[in-house]
Amino acid sequence: MNQDQNTPSRRSFLKAGALLGTAWMASPTLAASGEASNRTSPATSITKRRTLGNGKHALEVSALGLGCMGMSYHRGRIPDKSVSIALIRKAYESGVNFFDTAEVYGPYTNETLVGEAIQPFRKDILVSTKFGFNIENNQMAGLNGRPEQIRKVAEESLKRLRTDVLDLFYQHRQDPNVPIEDVAGTVKDLIAEGKVRNFGLSEVSVETIRRAHAVQPVTAVQSEFHLMWHRVIENGVLAACEELGIGFVPYSPINRGFLSGMLNPQTKFFAENDNRAGLPRFQPDAMAANWPFIELLTDFGHQRGLTPTQVSLAWLMKQKPYIVSIPGTTKAAHLMENLAVADITISDADWKAFDDALGKLTVEGDRYTQTERSRVQN
């Protein structure tokens, strides 16, 4: 797939519009908060496990985790706290043992929410959080990977999460002014002190991974990865993870909800708390041009009794055994839909046909604004 082609032909645009037709009108005009469609699956539990990292820094986690960001940040109207706490606890009861948050989600409020939700079963689950930004006046204010900042974030995250140790501590974005060796060394010290168990990186290059791993073994790399974003394959990040025994955690595995088929050019985002409103890929023209992805997912899934969301998550799972997606949602029905994916079986021949069709599609619109693009290495 050519990820850099940003200008579809007039013919493909009109074709996408014609195929959508009244389907746009039948879809919701307000964005869903999570990463899943509104179709439900039978109540289920996830029993399959996967491993992130190796040796003393390996983590055995549920085959799918839960991304908690959208319960507080960047996904529209914020649900009542009691609803989100109940959802996190429902995930635990359904076999999820891997929960993802960060200090900048809110900021701070998501960690506080997760901390309260997981307190009754904290010893039975794994929680990951992140450092890497300055926060001023309740807003992100540039990157900060200095050792003193890492330590400060660790202490504050421990308090908000109501815990005495962080299972996985990611650098959210790399600070170009701080050598990655200094970052890895600081986390190594925190591990020696018993405040952190494992080290992770997010949106970094192969070179950065290797340099960091040489100082402190990396347990997981987290980056955006889904049907419409293959860069981690193309630039060798996945291959490096496999070589070094590092797990890979895709965030936004449903492309911020688009691959659920529940967003369309008429969707109105709650711009006060939804970053999709300003992202190039979520502008009306781009969503129209990208609709063939939804058609492919819908057709493939319909023949197998699966939703577009489930096909998208299953596609990621089949890529590598050390991949653990963290789809987010705010609804129990969507959670069950996601967890059912762990038990899906699709033949290699069927996946090949799917990949052949996928390879003929092109993506319209960048995934990030120019500012955000400058902070990632993938």
Q: Output the CA torsion sign for 226, 230, 233, 237.
A: negative
Residue 105 known to be catalytic? yes
CA 214 to chain centre: 26
Phi/psi of residue 350, each to 5°? -65, -40
Nearest partner of 232 among 220, 213, 244, 248, judged by Cα: 248
Kindly name the residue from 73, 92, 105, 108 that is annotated as catalytic: 105
Q: How far apart are CA 293 and CA 335, in angstroms?
A: 22
Cis, bond preceding 107 (omega within 30 deg of 0): yes
Nearest to 339, CA basis, from 353, 324, 354? 324
Please state the length of the chain: 378
Rg, C-alpha atoms of the chain: 20
Angle at which helices 291-302 and 348-358 cross, to 10°: 160
- State how far the Cα of 188 lies from the Cα of 200, in Å rounded to an integer: 11
Rounded CA separation 158/112 (Å): 10
Residue 214: partners with Cβ closer than 8 Å, 6 or more residues away = 181
The secondary structure element, H or E, covering residue 177 is: none
CA angle 2, 252, 47 (to 5 degrees): 120
Q: Which of 216, 200, 221, 228 is nearest to 296 (CA)?
A: 228
Q: Is the dihedral of CA 173, 179, 180, 183 positive or negative?
A: negative
Residue type at 151 in one-letter notation: R
Catalytic positions are: 105
